[in-house]
Amino acid sequence: MHIRGAHTLVCGAGGFIGGHLVNRLLEQGAASVRAVDVKPLDEWYQKNPEVESVVLDLQEKEACLQAADGIDAVFQLAADMGGMGFIENNRALCMLSVLTNTHMLMAARDRGVRRFFYSSSACVYNADKQTSPDVVALKEEDAYPALPEDGYGWEKLFSERMCRHFLEDFGLETRVARFHNVYGPLGTWTGGREKAPAAICRKVLEAKISGKHEIEIWGDGHQTRSFMYVDDCTRGVVDIYHSDIIEPINLGSSELVTINQLVDIAEDLAGVRLKRNYNLNAPRGVNGRNSDNTKIQQYLGWEPSIKLRDGLARTMAWIEQQMLTGVTTR
């Protein structure tokens, strides 16, 4: 089923990725986009005048039925989540997102939705395969036997299974992508829910602006990650939606860096060198994680390829603009 001419619903449209996805769907020729989020409209990261923007709590089944009415394609990105600090300290809140996923699947089935995209996460992967910074890239089958990130990862893995069984039992066409560390402008960069790239950009800029040339890094800085720029993410979402891929698939960059290397890039972009203070008691997540992109290359002939330095430059420029114009929360 093609996006062009389809009536689409983006759940979590007031969030970072959701806001960018709304714009992508309009560019792809969607007949309409209904944008739904639990946040008040003035707290949405992006608001597009061309779409129907609705405030609903999608943990409630009736709200999901309302959101899915007249819809052909659902993009379910809504979740209570944030960076590692938030995930490790709010496991119950993260688990409660299972209500949103379950009720949206039920509503999609009951409203005759033709295709349902679900945004899962690399946090579903078995922690025993992520104990070393010298990581072997994670293949899709590495999610089992199951030992995901406590709270958030378990919720994502359970909801992946729900998508599979709604396909098998009810014929609802489901597509599932496992996002790996998405970053970019127009996202969370302060307040406790921000992820590593935005947090590092903010800390480096704060050090530059204040003249106090120090930075706190969570962990020892040797943890390894890959980071996907948001434009690659939204392209991948649409391509996976259009595909015949019925099993969960990685959607992430394979450009592996340490957190220290991430700081190196941010310092280069800002033109500063900082003293690094390592907080070994802070939340740090797994020691190493990278995306094996063999399957997405086989299926789509493509993988996320925007270089970290290029994407971080755009992200840092936007965060600096926010800081200089007096924006203090996001």
Mean pLDDT of 250-261: 96
Name the token pair of 115: 């295709």
Closest-CA residue to 140 (of 252, 18, 236) = 252
pLDDT computed for residue 1 by the predictor: 80
**Is 70 exceeded by the pLDDT of residue 260?**
yes
Kindly write down the DSSP assignment for every residue of 12-47, as one continuous string: TTTSHHHHHHHHHHHHTTBSEEEEEESS-GGG-S--
Residue 117's pLDDT band, with cuts at 50, 70 and 90, is very high
Mean predicted lDDT score pLDDT of the chain: 94
Provide the 10 A C-beta neighbour count for residue 174: 23
Task: Tell me whether residue 125 is one of the annotated catalytic residues.
Answer: no
Q: Could you say which DSSP state residue 135 is in?
A: P
Mean pLDDT of 188-194: 86
pTM value is 0.94
CA distance 213 to 123: 33
pLDDT computed for residue 114 by the predictor: 98
Name the token pair of 311: 């994407």
- Exactly one of 152, 183, 229, 241 is catalytic; name it: 152
**Is 60 exceeded by the pLDDT of residue 149?**
yes
**Is 60 exceeded by the pLDDT of residue 329?**
no
pLDDT computed for residue 132 by the predictor: 82
